[in-house]
Amino acid sequence: MTREKTDFWVGLFILLGLIALVFLALRAGNMSSFSFAPTYRVQAHFDNVGGLKVRAPVKSSGVVVGRVASIGFDNQRFQATVAVDLEKQYQFPTDTSASILTSGLLGEQYVGLTPGGEDKNLADGGTIEFTQSAVVLEDLISKFLYNSAEKEGSATAQPAAPAAGAAH
């Protein structure tokens, strides 16, 4: 085989590898959802972040407006600190509230933002004051069981009380 022919096939081989990598990054991976728009960082404190992960989306009205940058624990407040990068083109009032929500029943968790009514907007390094923690399924179930047990207890206790009164 001549030199030029070998070079051609090797070039084609490398090109095929690059195409495969681009395919993996764009078609299979989340490269296309990477945004290089300028962002500003805002913090929020949560009692419980549940299963929230770094790079989880931050949504407002269902639209992705940013990503979770880091999750840490604040040892002064004994709360989780979540830093989020919001895109500069989206501005939110200072009394915006953040809550950790789940998409679908078993889907991934994300941070939902509900805008408030203040005139001033959140700036870089600002803090979201109003937060709502993730719903933990175990808490929900135990609350439900506790409630229904209480209801059942009072339902059986009530007919018994007048009967006891009539005996006297």
Partner 1 sequence: MNALSRRIAALGHGFVAMLTGLGAFARLFTAILARSGILWRRPRLTAQQVHFIGNHSLLIIGVSGLFVGFVLGLQGYYTLNRYGSEEALGLLVALSLTRELGPVVTALLFAGRAGTSLTAEIGLMKAGEQLSAMEVMAVDPIRRVLTPRFWGGVIAMPVLAAVFSMVGILGGWFVGVVLIGIDPGAFWSQMQGGVDVVSDVLNGVIKSLVFGVVVTLIALYQGWTALPTPEGVSRATTRTVVSGALAVLGLDFLLTALMFAH
**51 makes contact with partner 1 (CB under 8 A):** no
Compute the least distance from the CB of residue 17 to partner 1, in Å.
Answer: 3
167 membership: H or E segment, kind and range: helix 137-167
**10 makes contact with partner 1 (CB under 8 A):** yes
**23 makes contact with partner 1 (CB under 8 A):** yes
43: Cβ contacts below 8 Å, ≥ 6 apart: 81, 82, 83, 84, 125, 126, 127, 128
**145 makes contact with partner 1 (CB under 8 A):** no
The nearer residue to partner 1, 5 or 168, going by C-beta atoms, is 5
Q: What is the dihedral of CA 88, 93, 97, 101, to 10 degrees?
A: -30
The DSSP line for 18-30 is HHHHHHIIIIISS
Binding mask 72-111 for partner 1 (x = CB under 8 A): ------------------------------------x---
Stretch of residues binding partner 1 (CB under 8 A), selected from 7-15, 118-126, 138-146, 159-167: 7-15
R_g (Cα) of the chain, nearest Å = 27
Residue with tokens 């989780």: 80
Instruction: Give the binding site for partner 1 (CB under 8 A).
Output: 3, 6-7, 9-10, 12-14, 16-17, 19-21, 23-25, 27-34, 55, 108
